[in-house]
Amino acid sequence: MTLRLFPIIPVLAALAFGCSPSFEASLPDVEIIQHGLVMDGAPGLAQPNGASVTSSFTISSSIAAWAERMNSKVFVHQVTVTASGGLPNLDFIESALMTATAPSISESTTEIANYARSEAALSGSSIEGTRPAPTDITSLWSADQVVISLQVTGQLPEQPWTVDVTLKLSGHITYEF
């Protein structure tokens, strides 16, 4: 007895190509946390306008795989910088600027948070940088690596110090096979 599959193969192929799986998902609140970001000390730089230091970290595609190679929208909603490593507070920071860049795509930077301490700001161990509207970083997310830079200005400690940085993201993913 011989099984004849030839007549059914075109039917199976038509069914397989007629059904293209797809899905959509909204990711309302995703956090990426960088612990222990080392900021250089500013010895002898006590100036009336304060000193400025910059430090950066890299987010690789393995961390951001949820948004890679998909038809996505990725937005930064908020950035929080928290004192760590025994640092009691961040009262010495007068301003902070956080940017993102993907060197493999472009040398231009995207501002993702900006903070300026107000006169009435309460003492605390964390500061929040926001923008009036979420920052679209979709184009950066297609890169293998995204470099996040934090520049702070103020009457900075003389010794190196550390902070934890939290990026609050959201996104919308549409994936079609």
Looking up residue 35, the CATH number of its domain turns out to be 2.60.120
- Say if strands 110-116 and 93-101 run parallel, antiparallel, or are unpaired: antiparallel
Highest mean pLDDT among 78-87, 118-127, 130-139: 78-87
In a domain, 3, yes or no: no
In a domain, 45, yes or no: yes
Q: Is the pLDDT of residue 165 over 90?
A: yes
State the pLDDT at residue 5.
Answer: 36
> What mean pLDDT is reported for the chain?
79
Query: What domain range is 107 assigned to?
Result: 21-176
In a domain, 13, yes or no: no
Report the number of distinct structural domains present in the chain.
1
Strands (E) across the chain are located at 22-39, 51-60, 71-84, 93-101, 110-116, 126-129, 135-136, 145-154, 161-176
pTM exceeds cut of 0.85: no
Model pLDDT for residues 139-161, shown as the tens digit of each residue: 887 788 899 999 999 989 989 99
**What's the average model confidence in pLDDT over 76-105?**
92
Label residue 176 by pLDDT band (50, 70, 90).
low
In a domain, 120, yes or no: yes
In a domain, 142, yes or no: yes
In a domain, 30, yes or no: yes
In a domain, 11, yes or no: no
